[in-house]
Amino acid sequence: MLMARLMEEKLASLYRSGGRIVGGVYSGKGQEAFSAALTIHLEFGRDIFAPLIRDQAGRLAFGESVMQSFQTHFGTVNGPMRGRDGNVHRGLPREGIPAMISHLGAQISVVSGMLMARQMQGKSGFVGATAIGDGATSTGAFHEGLNLAAIEKLPLVLAVANNQFAYSTPNERQFACRNLVDRAIGYGVVGHEVDATDLVACVRTFREAVANARSGGGPQMVVGNLLRLCGHGEHDDASYISDSAKQAHSGRDCIEVARTQIAEQGWMRETAFAEEEASCRKTIEECVDRASAESLPNPFTCDWSAISSDDLSDGENLKS
Amino acid sequence: MTYLEAIRDAQATVLRDDPSVFIYGQDVGVFGGPFKATKGLFDEYPGRVKDAPISEDAMVGLAVGAAIEGMRPIVEMQFADFSSVGFNQIINQAATLYWRTNTPCPITIRLPSGGTPGSGPFHSQSLEGLYSQFPGLVVVTPATVADAYHMLVEAVGLNDPVIFCEHKYLYYHLKSEELDSEVLPIGKARIVRSGTSATLVTYSAMLHECLAAARQLEVDGYSIEVVDLRSVKPIDTDTILASVARTGRLLAVGEAFPWGGSLF
Ligand SMILES: Cc1ncc(C[n+]2csc(CCOP(=O)(O)OP(=O)(O)O)c2C)c(N)n1
């Protein structure tokens, strides 16, 4: 969580100072607890995690490296996207991290397909998780994907971060149901709701949801209530979010809440927070330096074909 | 054997030869598909011919996910026209996967295409022109029984997403006993009839109309060369240009809407 927050602060400052960042910067400020609490219950290599735009924390907790984020934001050839698609769109599909397309809602069915394939291959014990925002629950793809996962009783965990806004659009212009978690009944999936500013509650809820999915309980939909503590992207000042929303319980900063919880429980020494923060900052600076030294794709030598079968590329590969 | 039976048999062949192949579509299971293109396959290949909900977007998304995991799904759209509901997953998810992530996307999407009497505006579209606009997709349009069989087998074996446009008018009308006549790879056009006066470039059901026209024109003393493109993406420009170099005239004949389509 802390690493994700500090990485995104660094990315935001690099974005504002211009220069190295290719494309935009989208942060998960305020959503770190909800995102990480999901993926600490997943196992890299066995499970699937299809992150969305506010899942830096979940990515790290699942097993993505710090380097991969900076490589992608800097558009380097050594990053997972080889400089072809920036920032939050990165992934390593064959390692269980599908690379999101921008079109919201589209990853639910992709994860479902990965899960169904593994079942057909006779594998077992795996879970697939993906994340989505309140706005994206309005897409047809969300409905089609969740309904399909329910029909196939797939071990899917769907984390719905209700941060009250989709870009600038508030919940009341997005859906008319009382609570998004009520939708679970309609799909025939298990619904969970959690205060997503509360790390301990998030960990408990996801522990149960992931265990349910893993043991054959079918898709689980977890709705987390929180507030986006940043703009939609770094280009957005979020002036449309009212002070009363920020001061409400759901406007709490999950990292501050977690700090208090950890201190109260005596899980970490007071000084350990500062040590942790310093060590994260050091790693970030090292990664920024290393990624900055990497090169961008060469338009004249890279293979740009969108078709893998060489003889069928029909002029798509403009290299030669 | 009919064109439709060739499609059914090609699917039986790939299901038999490759355990990673499965079929996914509405009513394809016990029912055997609305056109019977999957007749009997549900029983012959248990667990590998699956009914899908009416969710074209999710059907294609699921196929892409399965492909990531090493499967080779065949998605049957009930009619080509309904693939518009899955358009996003086709052009943005499937078509870009290899370019973005270097992950192959071996999926075949079967589109029962084209006009038949009385089928109206929503059960008669030819969408090959539309799909051929997108990098990352292979778009094939078989015109013969043998091509329907061999190109479907080849399509399923490719590591790229293939839009397989099968013509509904040919389903029952077109019959042939010879499956093993000249087999050509996807991407290669066939000169079906040679001539000197003009070149007709066409594909799918229009091939047979062009051949009929060429026979009539022969009576009037014109010798017409007819080229069957077989696939509109890739398009075999070498064969087209060589033909036009000989005849000096070109007429492109297709059934898709003409604006911005695959022939213009
Ligand atoms: C299908 C689709 N339409 C529009 C967009 C543009 N868009 C990107 S993010 C966003 C808001 C998403 O809101 P939400 O799902 O609530 O997630 P959040 O950003 O709040 O985390 C929009 C409209 C998109 N990416 N996909």
Q: Is A303 on the interface with B (CB under 8 A)?
A: no
Pick the catalytic residue: B123, B167, B173, B208? Answer: B123
Q: Model confidence at A319, in pLDDT bands (50, 70, 90)?
A: very low
Sort out which chain B residues have CB atoms less than 8 A from A316's CB and list them: 135-136
Amino acid, single-letter form, for residue A24: G
Q: Model confidence at B257, in pLDDT bands (50, 70, 90)?
A: confident
Distance (Å, whole) CA B17 – CA B68: 20
Do the domain assignments include residue A300?
no
Say if B3-173 and B190-252 have the same CATH topology: yes
Query: In chain B, where are the structural domains located?
Result: 3-173, 190-252
Is it the case that residue A178 has pLDDT exceeding 50? Answer: yes
Query: What CA–CA distances, in Å, run from B244 to A296, B191, B240, B250, B260?
Result: 43, 12, 6, 6, 22
Do the domain assignments include residue A91?
yes
CA A225 to ligand 1 centroid distance, Å: 17
Q: Is A310 on the interface with B (CB under 8 A)?
A: no
**What pLDDT digit, counting tens, does each position of A138-177 carry?**
999 999 999 999 999 999 999 999 999 999 999 999 999 9
**What pLDDT digit, counting tens, does each position of B27-78 carry?**
999 999 999 999 999 999 999 999 999 999 999 999 999 999 999 999 999 9
Mean pLDDT (whole number) for B216-244? 97
Q: Is A119 on the interface with B (CB under 8 A)?
A: no
CA B241 to chain centre: 23
pLDDT of residue B32: 98
CB A104 within 8 A of CB A139: yes
Across the interface, which of B65, B160, B233 has its CB nearest the CB of A110?
B65
Q: What is the mean pLDDT of chain B?
A: 96
pLDDT of residue B260: 78
pLDDT of residue A320: 37
pLDDT of residue A189: 98
Query: What CA–CA distances, in Å, run from B170 to B25, B40, B112?
Result: 21, 21, 10
CA A172 to ligand 1 centroid distance, Å: 16
Is it the case that residue A200 has pLDDT exceeding 60? Answer: yes
Q: Model confidence at B207, in pLDDT bands (50, 70, 90)?
A: very high
CA B99 to ligand 1 centroid distance, Å: 23
Do the domain assignments include residue A144?
yes
**What pLDDT digit, counting tens, does each position of A99-108 carry?**
999 999 999 9
Across the interface, whether the CB atoms of B71 and A120 are under 8 A apart is answered: yes
Distance (Å, whole) CA B193 – CA B215: 10
Do the domain assignments include residue A32?
yes
| Fold annotation for B190-252 | Rossmann fold (3.40.50)
b/e map of A68-107 (b: 16 or more CB within 10 Å)? bbbbbbbbbeebbbbbbbbbbbbbbbeebbbbbbebbbbb
Do the domain assignments include residue A317?
no
> Does residue B165 or residue A305 have the better pLDDT?
B165
CB A108 within 8 A of CB A142: yes
Mean pLDDT (whole number) for B122-132? 96
Distance from CA of A140 to the nearest CA of B (A): 8
Residues in a beta bridge with B51:
B25
Is it the case that residue A268 has pLDDT exceeding 60? Answer: yes
Do the domain assignments include residue A305?
no
Q: Domain containing A80 — which CATH number?
A: 3.40.50.970
Sort out which chain B residues have CB atoms less than 8 A from A140's CB and list them: 57, 85
Across the interface, whether the CB atoms of B138 and A117 are under 8 A apart is answered: no
Of A8, A52, A104, A228, the residue with max ligand 1 atoms within 8 A of its CB, to mutate for a pocket test, comes to: A104
Is it the case that residue A311 has pLDDT exceeding 60? Answer: yes
Q: In chain A, how many domains are there?
A: 1
Secondary structure (3-state) at B141: coil
CB A41 within 8 A of CB A93: no
CB A34 within 8 A of CB A199: no
Superfamily of domain B3-173: Thiamin diphosphate (ThDP)-binding fold, Pyr/PP domains (3.40.50.970)
Burial of A277 (0-12, 13-18, 19+ CB in 10 A): middle
Amino acid, single-letter form, for residue A167: Y
pLDDT of residue A316: 63
Residues in a beta bridge with A193:
A223
Q: Reply yes or no on whether B123 is catalytic.
A: yes
Q: What percent of chain A has pLDDT over 90?
A: 92
Distance (Å, whole) CA A265 – CA B36: 65
Q: Which residues contact A252 (CB under 8 A, 6 or more apart)?
A: A197
Across the interface, whether the CB atoms of A114 and B92 are under 8 A apart is answered: no
Do the domain assignments include residue A267?
yes
pLDDT of residue A252: 98
CB A31 within 8 A of CB A226: yes
- The interface predicted TM-score (ipTM) is 0.97
pLDDT of residue A133: 98
Do the domain assignments include residue A318?
no
Is it the case that residue B258 has pLDDT exceeding 80? Answer: yes
Nearest chain B residue to A91, by CA: B101
What domain range is A58 assigned to?
Answer: 2-292
Indicate the pairing of strand B21-25 with strand B49-51: parallel
**What pLDDT digit, counting tens, does each position of A120-135 carry?**
999 999 999 999 999 9
Q: Return the structure tokens found at A106.
A: 């589209």
Q: Return the structure tokens found at A98.
A: 């599908």
Distance from CA of B218 to the nearest CA of A (A): 34
**What pLDDT digit, counting tens, does each position of B174-205 carry?**
999 888 777 999 999 999 999 999 999 999 99
